[in-house]
Amino acid sequence: MITQPESQLNQPHPLSGTKMNGAEMVVQVLADQGVDTVFGYSGGAILPTFDAVFRYNEENAPEGKDAISLIVPANEQGACFMASGYARATGKVGAVIVTSGPGATNCVTPVRDCMADSIPIVVVCGQVATSSIGTDAFQEAPVSGIMGSVAKHVFLVTDPTRLEMTMRSAMEIAQSGRPGPVVIDIPKDVQNWEGSYLGEGLLSIPGYNHRIQATRNNIMTEEKCKEFFSFLAKSERPLIYAGGGVINAEASDAMRAFSLAFKIPVVTTLMGLGSFDTTHPLALHMLGMHGAAYANYAVDDCDLLIAFGGRFDDRVAGDPPKFAGSAKHILHFDIDPSEINKVKTADWNYVGLMAPALDELTNYGKRQKFTKNLETWHNDIQDLKQTYALNYDRDSELIQPNYIIETINKITQGNAIISTGVGQHQMWAAQYFDFCEPRLWMTSGSMGTMGFGLPAAIGAQFGQPDKLVIDVDGDASIRMNLGELETVTTYELPIKVLVLNNYGDGMVMQWQRLFFKGRLSASDKSLRKKDFVEAARADGFKYAERLNQKQDAPKVLKEFIAYKGPAFLEVIIDPEAGVYPMVPPGMSYQAMLTGDFIPNRYDGTIKEEPNASELF
């Protein structure tokens, strides 16, 4: 939500009435909203805005530093993923400026990615002049039509007097309610138009504002608290299921306080990692398709499931009727009313701001001196964690990816920002890294977009310059945006790029081995000629090494993480290493495959082929 310092309330903006062109207004609104970093790639239709950024910095930059840093990637997809990484790492809106036509269409995938993961970014696109729209002019694309189906909202600004309010409204929409990407399509003549800067004002969006205000006004009443605790009082095995909504809502501290106050264990989704300290005794790490076996078994065993900001998606609840099958009741918190009862019916729900609601619940329980002896449940949880712990072939002479991540985790101690591409490496990273706080884990969850990891790490490093940022990538995934290696060295970012190379699309190959009789159609890249180390060196990495001997791993990994500047390390891993546990698509946790090194309390074999239409 956009707020002004109290000292500025009811006071005119210092630039109110100043003559500006449209491009200058775009930049001024971004500055007014606290945007300090913009990711973008120039082109003809957006030149006025890029020029306005240059002139704004000349007039307002402190000595030796830009007021608004303008980061130029290898392509526009990289720019949007950088903005996404920035937003995920900081909680602020990521800002992007790109040109028309291919500049805008290159942003479609990351815009959809941000929509799917509820990430707030604002994408400013240049457009051909208003009079040329619809004529198939040079570098024209129907941005409103294309983006309208993948973004939270799209604006096409044809009335220049509404440009300033549109920019401000876009920032508000991106952040409010369930966050998401907003796209603003600005014709070149609107950028060149001149008018007076107001310094205030939003567009009238009554329907949206009414819905947002309803969630903001909803409070956790005494009666709602009483109902909630009546369910908790009857439970012997309560479990918190925390999704990415907890992090987006800045509710991690409130949820932790609630969990610790009433000693309720916590499982998190892929997107919820870090919302609860994974090293805490009450933490069960990640549930779902590739979640820890003990986390999934805890879900099977719980008699009360409390969902915070989770949406029961297919990677968590593959077989919805059997998900949390022993739970007598489900309680669901979310900011989005459409998520309530969408997949699983909730016996109690709350739609509103999560952090204050959780604070009120915790305070109510303390006022009522609510206590519950959960010692038996805690003992059961500890038994599950010890019996069904993550494991792999520790005696293999080949380098196991789990071992690499486990070793790095001992160095980082759950305090590094970890970005990933998509595939097996993504799941190994989610399983074997610890996260002591939120906004340390960034991955493409719902869309599963290969090529996300490297540009997202760049955005995260700009957002958190004092943090250690590691991109854990795969040989197939990093190829998608390999050009951003040069961006890392251009801006001298101390990012550590780790490529786990199994010479192919590892996750696809795993599915092909399990469900397609081992036919590795189009996934085996063992004949490809890419030399990643030479590519990194060509792009300016002074530290670029290859690790292919297991005994060298501890020394090399320590040097890699300790290196002061940009560092690149390719690790040649076991090409047949699999990600386990694995729940076959569309199936319950009772069908979970745990591989050769994790015990399974059920049968542990594929009894029936998954529905072919549900694969991937």
188 carries an active-site annotation: yes
Q: Is 150 helix (H, G, I), strand (E, B) or coil?
A: coil
Selecting among 19, 138, 222, 368, the annotated active-site residue is 138
139 carries an active-site annotation: yes
CA–chain centroid gap for 434, Å, is 16
Rounded Cα–Cα distance for residues 316 and 588 (Å): 9
Specify whether the CB–CB gap between 356 and 350 falls below 8 A. Answer: no
Residue type, 66: D
DSSP 160: G
Selecting among 54, 139, 360, 597, the annotated active-site residue is 139
For residue 330 the two structure tokens come to: 């489900």
Structure-token match 């998900």, residue found: 323
506-515 helix and 424-432 helix, angle to the nearest 10 degrees: 100
- DSSP letter for each residue of 226-267: HHHHHHHHH-SSEEEEE-HHHHHTT-HHHHHHHHHHHT--EE
Specify whether the CB–CB gap between 383 and 247 falls below 8 A. Answer: no
175 carries an active-site annotation: no
Selecting among 24, 33, 39, 76, the annotated active-site residue is 76
- Distance set, CA 493 to CA 38, 73, 189, 368 (Å): 16, 13, 37, 51
Specify whether the CB–CB gap between 162 and 172 falls below 8 A. Answer: no
Residue 114's region, left for phi above 0, alpha for psi from -120 to 50, else beta, is alpha
At residue 492's C-alpha, the angle toward residues 488 and 493, to 5°, is: 60
Q: How many CB atoms lie within 10 A of CB 351?
A: 18
Residue 263 phi, psi dihedral angles, 5° rounding: 55, 50
138 carries an active-site annotation: yes
Q: How many CB atoms lie within 10 A of CB 546?
A: 17
Select from 436, 389, 403, 409 the least CA-distant residue to 595: 389
Select from 517, 525, 477, 469 the least CA-distant residue to 497: 469
Rounded Cα–Cα distance for residues 52 and 60 (Å): 12
CA–chain centroid gap for 3, Å, is 25
Rounded Cα–Cα distance for residues 506 and 510 (Å): 6
Selecting among 188, 224, 344, 525, the annotated active-site residue is 188
Selecting among 427, 450, 507, 592, the annotated active-site residue is 507
Specify whether the CB–CB gap between 471 and 444 falls below 8 A. Answer: no
Which residues are marked as active site?
A: 76, 138-139, 188, 507
